[in-house]
Amino acid sequence: MLDTMPISESGGVGMPFREVSAMDQKRELVTFAAMEGANIRELCRRFGISAPTAYGWLGRYREEGLAGLVERSRRPKSSPRRAAPAIEAKVLEVRDRSNNVWGGRKIKRALEDRGEADIPAASTITEILRRHDRLTDTGSTEHPGPWLRFERERPNELWQMDFKGHFAIQTGRCHPLTALDDCSRYNLILAACGNEQGRTVRAELENVFRRYGLPLAMLMDGGPPWSDPGGDLLTAFSVWLMRLGVRVLHGRPRHPQTQGKEERFHRTFKAEVVSGRSFRDLADCQRAFDDWRPRYNHERPHEGLGMATPAERYRPSSRSFPEDLPPIEYAPGDHVRKVDGDGFISFKSRPWRISKALRGELIALRPSREDGVFDVYYCAHRIRALDPHDRQNQACGLMDDAARRPQGPQAQQQQQTASISRVKGVKDVSEHP
């Protein structure tokens, strides 16, 4: 199957051609379909196949595993005892596929998942690598000490998204865009982009939303296109996510550990895909990305998951992407206002600045628990408060709320100790005091 986006000659919004193997598509579909409570017909719609085809794949997968998904004959599940050289060859083959990065434990788990027999202990595999001069200091800086981990309980509660630092290719620069499910570490987006613009990100997200559904929340850093460097509360990109019912979270400046899983994924991606390689153009990058992504999701054991793979934990969201958005409706008692072209509304005979990103949109004002103060809502998201009695903001209703934004991407983490609070920092653009 081919998912294609046009390539811009100037390195603009266009995306490279993507080639995804039929085997990767089948494996991803049957993994999701085999989960308890899976909606197979919804998965068929997202993957663009018929239900009989999907049920046929699923039946063969349950009987034969991955062997049932291919058209050619496969090696038998059981094999006679192998000589030591054969085992060493398999160990080195797995090591090579990881760009000479994986260690003994990951290689052992990968061989087990392949159904290999007579697999040596992880320590023995390490000795095999050492005998073949495969253990070097290269990449050791890619694996510093572990982060203090925070994790959502279920898939699709939170996705993390970021651009991996761009790197040079023969025709310009590649900006890898990545998105990761917080609970499972499942990689949802790995795209070779020619820029870091909001419309580029939106095009990628539309594709992934159609395939995997919508998350409850997304966490990004504080730079563009996620947030406005000029200090505006919202951007057109964050408004689009909020319109879809996705809560928008931003990490605080100088707190990279807030997106620790994305940072860790980027180190793995750099070590196993980018390091030591030269790429011709964005299409060449995308081919390498698409070759590695199934291995990361379905084959690569993850130490943070107890040596399970991300695909063992992930399942698609039950919230489907709406191709046609319904009209925004507010409660009968709400004060509804339309944001003008400069980002202002008129309320209580005064102008109030809301956000230029909401120009032309309808917002609602509701009385808060504090006397005389109104909460401002866009769709179901509380974005700020208006206090007519605050004389400091009488001119235009501006609010400096950066220092008061909630900490932590999870509500239950907000009450943790001060030492942990200093480790993480998150601000939520859809809910402010």
Q: Tell me, letter by letter, the H, E, C secondary structure of the chain.
A: CEECCCCCCCCCCCCCCEECCHHHHHHHHHHHHCCCCCCHHHHHHHHCCCHHHHHHHHHHHHHHHHHHHCCCCCCCCCCCCCCHHHHHHHHHHHHHHCCCCCCHHHHHHHHHHCCCCCCCCHHHHHHHHHHCCCCCCCCHHHCCCCCCCCCCCCCCCCEEEEECCCEEECCEEEEEEEEEECCCCCEEEEEEECCCCHHHHHHHHHHHHHHHCCCCEEEECCCCCCCCCCCCCCCHHHHHHHHCCCEEEEECCCCHHHHHHHHHHHHHHHHHHHCCCCCCCHHHHHHHHHHHHHHHHHHCCEHHHCCECHHHHCCCCCCCCCCCCCCCCCCCCCEEEECCCCCEEEECCEEEECCHHHCCCEEEEEECCCCCCEEEEECCEEEEEECCCCHHHCCCCCCCCHHHCCCCCCHHHHHCCHHHHHHCCEEECCCCC
Q: How many CB atoms lie within 10 A of CB 142?
A: 16
pLDDT at 78: 52
| Percent of the chain residues topping a pLDDT of 90 | 34
Provide the pLDDT for residue 365.
94
Distance between CA atoms of residues 280 and 338, nearest Å = 49
pLDDT category at 57 given cuts 50, 70, 90 is confident
Give the mean pLDDT of the chain.
77
What's the average model confidence in pLDDT over 284-298? 94
Q: Can you give the three-state secondary structure of 168-228, one letter per residue?
A: EECCEEEEEEEEEECCCCCEEEEEEECCCCHHHHHHHHHHHHHHHCCCCEEEECCCCCCCC
Higher local confidence (pLDDT), 132 or 196: 196
Whole-number pLDDT of residue 63: 84
| Phi, psi for 219 (deg, rounded to 5) | -115, 125
pLDDT number for residue 147: 37
> In the chain, what is the straight-line distance between the N-terminal and C-terminal CA atoms, in Å?
48
pLDDT of residue 75: 54
Its pTM surpasses 0.85: no
C-alpha–C-alpha distance, residues 316 and 215, integer Å:
9
What pLDDT, on a 0 to 100 scale, did the predictor assign at position 71? Answer: 65
- The mean pLDDT of 113-138, rounded to a whole number, is 72
Percentage of the chain exceeding pLDDT 70 = 73
Tell me what the mean pLDDT of segment 391-398 comes to.
43
The pLDDT-based confidence of 280 (bands split at 50, 70, 90) is very high
Please state which of the ranges 257-261, 304-308, 386-390, 405-409 shows the lowest mean pLDDT.
405-409
pLDDT mean over 37-41: 86
Higher-confidence residue: 26 or 14? 26
pLDDT on residue 308:
85
Q: Are 289 and 190 in contact (CB under 8 A)?
A: yes
* Amino acid identity at 50: S
Closest listed residue to residue 29, CA positions, set 5, 52, 8, 58: 58
**Cα–Cα dist 200/14, whole Å:** 8
Model confidence at 194, pLDDT cuts 50, 70, 90, reads: very high
Average pLDDT over residues 209-226: 88
Q: What is the mean pLDDT of residues 340-363?
A: 91
Q: Is the pLDDT of residue 40 over 50?
A: yes
For residue 225, whether the previous peptide bond is cis, meaning omega lies within 30 degrees of 0, is yes
If one counts every other C-beta atom within 10 angstroms of the C-beta of residue 192, the result is 23
Closest CA to 226 of 172, 166, 179: 179
Assess whether pLDDT exceeds 60 at residue 162. yes
Q: Which residue has the higher pLDDT, 178 or 252?
A: 178
Residue 367 scores a pLDDT above 50: yes
Query: How many angstroms from the chain centroid is the CA of residue 181?
Result: 5
pLDDT at 146: 43
Strands 350-353 and 344-347: antiparallel
On the question of pLDDT at 426 being above 60, the answer is no
Lowest-pLDDT range of 170-174, 214-218, 262-266: 262-266
